[in-house]
Structure formats: structure tokens, C-alpha cells
């Protein structure tokens, strides 16, 4: 087998990059390169098809305001959305954040009542906040049961700012909220997961402060090419200090 390469497909990079979600691309790219794995980053814009490669692929879909979501919803409703669904059903690794996550469900309803069609990766939909409901804003600490690790429970931290309330149908939540709002501020769930597709409301950006999740996504992508590949440990002191700083502040208790 030749040198494994990773291609990060950054969906709507120029439009869906709210609150620095591009940091997720940088985190995955650097953690792969620090292990000697060459990485290409492809921006997949309006009217451009998603083109999986013959090596390892990972697809990122960042957050964006209602205006950007409306601009790209029709672009997603054709073959592009069908291709993304097929990639997920085939076990492809996808991370959708906030506005990108919302459009991975059946629909995102705007405050004006327009239902923007989603890709339907997750059995869920998102409704607008009611007149008496505030935007869901703030730091989030959530607990993830990572199936790759059996029953190991891990935590993630991030920042949320969304008006939409996501209601899960059969979709499996990604995490349980410990502090913050998550999907809708009422059912205690955060995000969604299906096979190797992850959806979350956590900006931050999410991945730099949650190195275990970054490596999980990276490993899931690489193992689709080489099922025996392992990732050598990195010195995560800075990443874990960033995680602990936010987790400690959010949970009100100092973390070592």
C-alpha cells in the first residue's frame, strides 16, 4: 500500500465559517501532518460536486447565519445532498457544526417560517425559536459515549450561539449536556451521530480543544483505507490545558 493521504473536503468554506470553524480544518490537518500523513484541503463551494478520493477523506461543514444557509440549501438539495447521504451511509467521516449540522437534518426552519431542505443524514429537524425564547448562547460542557472506546465516556467543550431548536427523531444524540443548552435547551441532548457522521452545535472551534475527538475523526477516516493504522500519541499539553480551562470555568470547578 502506498503512502496514505488525507483529503479534507471543506464544504462551503467561504460561506460557512462562523466563529472560526475553520479551526477544525487546521486541527485535523496539523494532527495528521504531525504523524507524517500528507493532507490536502479542498474547498467545495456552490455548484461544485463532492469528489471522494482513492485515499482517506474527511468532510467538514461549518456554521453559518440564516442568510448563508438559505443561499446553499438549494445547492444541497440536488445530487450534492444525495452524494453526502451516500458518503455517510458508506461510513464516510463527516462533521457538521451548527448551521451545517442543522442542514444535515430533514430541514431547518428560519424565523421567517421558510423550511430550508436538509440532506437528511440525521433523523431530526430544527425549528426557529419562539417569540419568548432567547438565542441559545454560551459555553457548553457535554458528555460523549464514544462507541469506538466501548463504554468510555469522554467530555467535549465548546461555544454555542444558535436560535434554532433541533428536535431529534430516531437520530442518536452525540452527547448529553452537562452545562449549556445543546440541541434545544430542554431535552438534555447535544448534537447527533450516525455511523461516522457527527453533528454538533459546538463552535470554538470545536476540535483544537478536544484532541481526542479530532483523533477519533482522523482515525475513522484513515482506517477506511488501512484498518490497522494507529496514531502515535502527541504531546497534548496545550490542547488539554485549553480544554481544562474552559471545562473548569464552565463547571465551576478547577481541573488539573
Indicate which single residue of 6, 28, 58, 98 sits in contact with ligand GLN (rule: CB under 6 A): 98
Minimum CB distance to ligand GLN smaller for 173 or for 215: 173
In this structure, the number of other CB atoms found within 10 A of the CB of residue 163 comes to: 18
Cα dist from 219 to 140, 216, 226, whole Å = 25, 5, 10
As measured in angstroms, the least distance from the Cβ of 65 to ligand GLN is 5
Position among 81, 120, 164, 204 found at the interface with ligand GLN (CB under 6 A)? 164
Cβ atoms of residues 101 and 199 within 8 Å:
yes
Contact 188, 176 (CB under 8 A): yes
The one segment of 34-42, 64-72, 78-86, 151-159 that binds ligand GLN by CB under 6 A: 64-72
For ligand GLN, the closer CB: 111 or 169: 111
**Nearest C-alpha neighbor of 101 from the set 122, 74, 76, 81:** 122
Q: How far apart are the first and last CA of the chain?
A: 42
Residue matched to cell numbers 471545562: 247
Q: Which own/partner contact pairs does 243-252 have at CB distance under 8 Å and 24+ positions apart?
A: 243/155, 243/157, 243/209, 243/210, 243/211, 246/139, 246/141, 246/157, 246/209, 247/141, 247/155, 247/157, 249/139, 250/139, 250/140, 250/141, 250/157, 250/179, 250/180, 251/141, 251/178, 251/179
Interaction between residue 66 and ligand GLN (CB under 6 A): yes
Q: What is the dihedral of CA 43, 49, 50, 51, to 10 degrees?
A: -100
| Catalytic residue flag (residue 203) | yes
**Peptide bond before residue 197 is cis, with ω within 30 degrees of 0:** no
Minimum Å gap between C-beta 86 and ligand GLN is 25
Site for ligand GLN (CB under 6 A): how many residues? 13
Nearest distance in Å: CB 181, ligand GLN: 11
State which residue, 109 or 236, has the beta carbon closest to ligand GLN.
109
Name which position in 64, 118, 199, 204 contacts ligand GLN (CB under 6 A): 64
Pairwise CA distance, residues 186 & 190, whole Å? 10
* Contact range with ligand GLN by CB under 6 A, out of 40-48, 94-102, 183-191, 247-255: 94-102
Residue 163 binding ligand GLN, by CB under 6 A: yes
Nearest distance, CB of residue 182 and ligand GLN, angstroms:
13
Question: Is 10 tagged catalytic?
Answer: no
User: Which listed range, 49-57, 95-103, 218-226, 236-244, lies at the site for ligand GLN (CB under 6 A)?
Assistant: 95-103
Residue nearest to ligand GLN (CB): 63
Q: 112 vs 151, which CB is nearer to ligand GLN? A: 112
**Binding positions for ligand GLN, rule: CB under 6 A:** 18, 63-66, 69, 98-99, 102, 161-164
Catalytic residue list: 98, 203
Amino acid at each position: 500500500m502506498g503512502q496514505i493521504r488525507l483529503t479534507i473536503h471543506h464544504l462551503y468554506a467561504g460561506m460557512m465559517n462562523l466563529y472560526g470553524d475553520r479551526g477544525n480544518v487546521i486541527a485535523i490537518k496539523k494532527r495528521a501532518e504531525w504523524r507524517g500523513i500528507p493532507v490536502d484541503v479542498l474547498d467545495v463551494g456552490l455548484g461544485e460536486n463532492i469528489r471522494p478520493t482513492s485515499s482517506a477523506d474527511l468532510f467538514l461543514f461549518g456554521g453559518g447565519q440564516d442568510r448563508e444557509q438559505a443561499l446553499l440549501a438549494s445547492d444541497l438539495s440536488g445530487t450534492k445532498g444525495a452524494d453526502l447521504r451516500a458518503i455517510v451511509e458508506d461510513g464516510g467521516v463527516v462533521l457538521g457544526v451548527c448551521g451545517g449540522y442543522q442542514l444535515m437534518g430533514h430541514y431547518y426552519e428560519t424565523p421567517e417560517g421558510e423550511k430550508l431542505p436538509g440532506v437528511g443524514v440525521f433523523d431530526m429537524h430544527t425549528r426557529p425559536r419562539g417569540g419568548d425564547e432567547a438565542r441559545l448562547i454560551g459555553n457548553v460542557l457535554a458528555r460523549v459515549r464514544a462507541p469506538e472506546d466501548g463504554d468510555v465516556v469522554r467530555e467535549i467543550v465548546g461555544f454555542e450561539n444558535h436560535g434554532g431548536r433541533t428536535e431529534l427523531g430516531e437520530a442518536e444524540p452525540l452527547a448529553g449536556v452537562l452545562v449549556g443548552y445543546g440541541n434545544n435547551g430542554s431535552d438534555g441532548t447535544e448534537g447527533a451521530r450516525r455511523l461516522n457522521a457527527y453533528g454538533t452545535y459546538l463552535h470554538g472551534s470545536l476540535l483544537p480543544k478536544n484532541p481526542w475527538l479530532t483523533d477519533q475523526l482522523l482515525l475513522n477516516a484513515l482506517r477506511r483505507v488501512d484498518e490497522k493504522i494507529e496514531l502515535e500519541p502527541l504531546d497534548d499539553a496545550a490542547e488539554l490545558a485549553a480544554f481544562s480551562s474552559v471545562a473548569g470555568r464552565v463547571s465551576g470547578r478547577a481541573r488539573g
